[in-house]
Amino acid sequence: MIDSQPQLDELCDRLASMSADAIACDTEFVRTQTYRPHLCVVQLCIDEVQSGIDLLAGLDTSRLIEQLMTGPQTKIFHAAKQDFEAFYCVYGRLPNRIFDTQIAAGLLGFQPQIGYASLVKELFGIDLPKDQTRTDWSKRPLTDAQIKYALDDVAHLNEVFAILGDRLEAAGRTEWVRQDCASLLDTSLYFIAADDAWRRLPGIPRLPVQIQARARSLAGWREDRAREFDRPRQWILSDKALLAIAYADPVAPGELRGLEDLSRSVIRKRGQELCALLQATNADLAAGRLELRQAPVPAPPDKKLVKHLSGIVRSTADELGMAPEILATRKDVAGILNGCDAVRALSGWRRGVIGEALLTAAS
């Protein structure tokens, strides 16, 4: 485990002069009690040598991060989305030239969202230990078992990448994985503005306008406080409590008592602030400063059509040798039947493979 600056500088020199065109990457972080993931370790495999960098050792990692974000090598991850969220929260940047072996495996017929250990087992017959899955990576010193577990996470990634890459090329699916991996570089996946925080709560647009406006304001307030105090959103205000407040529309803290899932401490510390927020939102709505409307509840799609389109997805997936949900989910099918264009099955490579057929069948 690299925990000194000379060691890290040497690693960066190796990275700059490496002969291979791909780097296996992984991260370990903690987030159980925080809003942001707190990066603790970054693991790399460079020219078949595994290294772990202790990010809690007070090192200057600027050169390493620059190399990972802009270097010419392909950065190999497995199930990269959480790693990328951690990178983006800490550094405000994402690695370039990425390859996600979980995405690639799904396109080749492996179990959807297959875990790294399961994929290694299927490809190489190697059993990786899972005893450190829920370990606390923020505690120091790290144990030998933790270090071994962390390095194992990148020990086989280069081989997995090579095998899956060859299979994708043989199947004509290299562009498919490129597109799906590129979608992980959408920074909106990893940061949400307070004004958009209400989108995390399903059904908000279908609420009456007055309740909807208050729920949106409360969601934005919660997002700001969670970010400010670095605490999980649900610790600041649960979804149940948020909606209960939006419906109740209290004008004084005392009216918050008895609302579902709302603690006394929140009422005591934040009651006046919450009531003032609601009053300001109500005033904005009354003055016409908020342009909201209540969205209609979509009619349930015809069951026969859902069954028919789902059958098309299954038969196409069978022909391609992959799980149907890799092509289109039941939610995608329902969205197409409801006239929604913003479904994954209608974008990128999926549109030609399955999307157009579903649109034709739905018309």
**CA distances from residue 164 to 145, 174, 292 in whole angstroms, order as listed:** 29, 10, 48
Q: In whole numbers, what is the pLDDT of the chain averaged over residues?
A: 96
The residue behind tokens 């960098």 is 53
Domain span at 322: 303-362
**Is the model's pLDDT at 297 over the cut of 90?**
no
**What is the CATH classification number for the domain harbouring 20?**
3.30.420.10
Q: Return the pLDDT at 277.
A: 98
Band the pLDDT of 27: cuts 50, 70, 90.
Answer: very high
154: left (phi over 0), alpha (psi -120 to 50) or beta: alpha
Q: Cα(237)–Cα(253) distance, rounded to whole angstroms?
A: 15
**Is the model's pLDDT at 117 over the cut of 90?**
yes
Q: Torsion angle of alpha carbons 230, 232, 235, 239, nearest 10°?
A: 130
* Average confidence (pLDDT) over 48-58: 96
pLDDT in tens, 211-228: 999 999 999 999 999 999
Count of other CB atoms within 10 angstroms of residue 170: 10
Are 85 and 182 contained in the same domain? yes
Residue 269 lies in a domain: yes
pLDDT in tens, 127-164: 998 888 889 999 999 999 999 999 999 999 999 999 99
Q: How many domains does the chain have?
A: 3
Residue 181 lies in a domain: yes
Q: Return the pLDDT at 331.
A: 93
Are 62 and 96 contained in the same domain? yes
Are 213 and 250 contained in the same domain? yes
Residue 26 lies in a domain: yes
